[in-house]
Amino acid sequence: MSKYMFLFRGGMDMKTASPEQMQANMMKWKNWMDLLTANGRMLAGEPLDGGGRVLTGRARKITDGPFAESKEVVGGYLIVDAKTIDEAAELSNSCPVFEHDGSVEVRAVREMSM
């Protein structure tokens, strides 16, 4: 097995969703992640806060950010175990983010030997 990272972009607009819609959405995410965990696939994952800092260039200029369209901002991540990137992509297929036109970027985590 290898490690793969899911990067979530877009999804439900929490600024316009009702509390009931947010609760229902969170339950779908919980159920999906519980299933991945029960199948021994989910290794780690967390949502990300909307704000942050961006350091740029050799001078490491610090600015507030990220400032991309909300559908392009990474809102969270998971790390899963899968045999291939195709299998990892298949695991992401039932992610709740797709119900709100979001996306999942599936990336292999490169092993580092020291």
Domains recognised in the chain with CATH numbers = 2-108 (3.30.70.1060)
Q: 110 φ, ψ to 5°?
A: -75, 130
pLDDT digits 0-9 by tens, 15-61: 899 999 999 999 999 999 999 999 999 999 998 887 788 888 998 88
- Are 80 and 88 contacting, i.e. CB atoms less than 8 angstroms apart? yes
Q: Report the pLDDT averaged over residues 98-113.
A: 94
pLDDT at 55: 85
The 3-state secondary structure of the chain, one letter per residue: CEEEEEEEECCCCCCCCCHHHHHHHHHHHHHHHHHHHHCCCEEEEEECCCCCEEEECCCCEEEECCCCCHHHCEEEEEEEEECCHHHHHHHHCCCHHHHHCCEEEEEECCCCCC
pLDDT digits 0-9 by tens, 55-104: 889 988 898 876 666 667 888 999 999 999 999 999 999 999 999 999 99
